[in-house]
Amino acid sequence: MLNDQVALVTGGSRGIGRAAALALAGAGAKVAVNYQSSRAKAQAVCAEIEAMGREAVCLGADVAKSDEVDEMVKEVLTRFGRLDILINNAGVVRDSLLIRMKDEDWDQVLDTNLKGAFNCLRACARPMMKQRAGRIVNVSSVVGLTGNPGQLNYAASKAGLVGLTKSAAKELASRGILVNAVAPGYIETDMTDSLDSRAREALAENIPVKRIGNPKDVANLILFLAGSESAYITGQVIAVDGGLAM
């Protein structure tokens, strides 16, 4: 149980982040739900958490901007007085083949997915170091481990998260802070809703467990890594992909 622990979930308004925020709240945590533009959706997640009898706060911030992240973490500390769990989940895709990829496609994906995680990690490490305890879960992707044509920017950002995770794990372990990454495969969310039903079926056929994942599949692992049962695990990257990237 995470009773009275405080979690910050970036990109908590939709998809995997929403499922993680609800799972953490379900286990007893107070949750700060970050969003960039979907204020109403983030408010709906907070309302669901409050309906469970837990505290929640909605915080708008662009994770790519360190001043907005610092302000957001300050607000979490003002509101709840501590910060125990960071879920670095916010992410975007801007897919295109290498020779057509624009500078801004590269910059936006790297700035959000990798620099955004760094900004949040740096801002949250300070209060966690003072508490001499903390859990950080970075949401990478199997694409960061295997590569994917048309996703050079995204795969590079997600591979970067692997190095960030392992380095932070080594640097922060002696302060009682554990840092791990989850690497989802193909998960049903807004990010992946462009495929038609035939493409979806073909994709599922290639996954050993024969189905596309859902946000809860990933949230279950995030919850485990945020809780006391994972106290001897750090610096790991764990796939949640139905066997896709074996």
Q: Which of 37, 167, 206, 228 binds ligand NAP (CB under 6 A)?
A: 37
> Which two three-digit tokens encode residue 16?
């995997």
**One symbol per residue from 169 to 198: x for binding ligand NAP (CB under 6 A), - otherwise; what is it?**
---------------x-xx-xxxx------
- Residue with smaller CB distance to ligand NAP, 117 or 125: 117
Give the nearest distance from C-beta 18 to ligand NAP in angstroms: 7
Residue whose tokens read 């949750």: 31
Is residue 138 at the binding interface for ligand NAP, with CB under 6 A as the rule? no
Is residue 217 at the binding interface for ligand NAP, with CB under 6 A as the rule? no
- Residue with smaller CB distance to ligand NAP, 38 or 220: 38
Give the nearest distance from C-beta 117 to ligand NAP in angstroms: 9
Give the nearest distance from C-beta 130 to ligand NAP in angstroms: 25
Q: Which of 28, 38, 82, 146 binds ligand NAP (CB under 6 A)?
A: 38
Which amino acid appears at position 129 of this protein?
Answer: M
Is residue 17 at the binding interface for ligand NAP, with CB under 6 A as the rule? yes
What residues form DSSP beta bridges with 59? 34
Least Cα distance to 166 among 154, 178, 156 occurs for 178
Is residue 90 at the binding interface for ligand NAP, with CB under 6 A as the rule? yes
- Residue with smaller CB distance to ligand NAP, 153 or 230: 153
Q: Phi then psi for 137, rounded to 5 degrees? A: -125, 120
Give the nearest distance from C-beta 53 to ligand NAP in angstroms: 24
Up-side HSE of residue 82: CA atoms within 13 Å toward CB? Answer: 16
Is residue 139 at the binding interface for ligand NAP, with CB under 6 A as the rule? yes
Give the nearest distance from C-beta 114 to ligand NAP in angstroms: 10
Distance CA 93, CA 46 (A): 25
Residues with catalytic function: 154
Is residue 112 at the binding interface for ligand NAP, with CB under 6 A as the rule? yes
Is residue 119 at the binding interface for ligand NAP, with CB under 6 A as the rule? no
69 and 120 Cβ atoms separated by less than 8 Å: yes
Where does this chain bind ligand NAP (CB under 6 A)?
Answer: 10-11, 13-17, 34-38, 41, 62-64, 89-92, 112, 116, 139, 141, 184, 186-187, 189-192
